[in-house]
Amino acid sequence: MILRKSVYRTLKEKKFQYAGVTVLLVLSVMLYVSLSIAISTLEERNSTFSADYKQETFHFVTGEEVTEDQLSSWEKEYDVTLEKRNSTDLTVDGATLRLFTETTEVNIPYISEGELPSQEGEVAHLKYSLKKTDITSETLLLLETLKQRSLGLSTCLIIFTWSSK
């Protein structure tokens, strides 16, 4: 009986402290559940994107030209999907543009807006990267046509990399 009265008395005296603890507990549980759901959603979307667009696990650069027969034999021997891709770097106005040939089997390009290049001299690029580097599409097309001729590429994708000065 006395014990029960002392518990109620303690709760009355420290009601704001207990209410604060309860609110913090509820908030922390809500935050934990929200973040768990967000992480599981992101993991699911990431795995779906990786499967749909066949994201590479690794890449390597060879010192010599690799023939299609060599690629086929490696694919069979190691049970992997291999694809050749040419790339080069182009420096324009202090920004380094990394140019890649279009791929069809590995790292399939995701196009959020517009279409993939279909004619010689066309270039796919990321709009926000052009804004960040202050490079115009016309400058890219002129420089890219020259670069494609030296690489023997008909269409290509551009990935932007830059470093702060």
For residue 90 the two structure tokens come to: 């182009």
In the predicted model, what is the mean pLDDT of the chain?
A: 75
Q: Domain for residue 11, yes or no?
A: yes
Facing residues of 101 across strands?
Answer: 156
Domain count, the chain: 2
Cβ atoms of 86 and 61 closer than 8 Å: no
pLDDT at 23 over 80: yes
Residue 20 lies in a domain: yes
Same domain, 90 and 156: yes
Highest mean pLDDT among 35-39, 91-95, 132-136: 35-39
Region 94-121: mean pLDDT is: 73
Q: What is the mean pLDDT of residues 54-68?
A: 81
Q: How confident is the model at residue 156 (pLDDT cuts 50, 70, 90)?
A: very low
Of 106, 102, 80, whose CA–CA distance to 158 is shortest? 102
User: Is the same domain home to 92 and 29?
Assistant: no
Position 32 in a domain: yes
CB under 8 A, 24+ apart: contacts of 129-132: 129/158, 129/160, 132/160, 132/162
**Does 132 lie in the same domain as 87?**
yes
In a domain? residue 63: no
Q: Which long-range CB contacts under 8 A does 146-154 form with residues at least 24 apart? A: 147/88, 147/90, 147/99, 148/120, 148/121, 151/86, 151/88, 151/99, 151/101, 152/86, 153/86, 153/99, 153/101, 154/120
Q: Averaged over 121-135, what is the pLDDT?
A: 63
Q: Which of 52, 74, 94 is the last residue in one of the domains?
A: 52
Domain span at residue 92?
A: 83-161
In the DSSP assignment, the letter for residue 86 is -
User: Is residue 19 domain-resident?
Assistant: yes
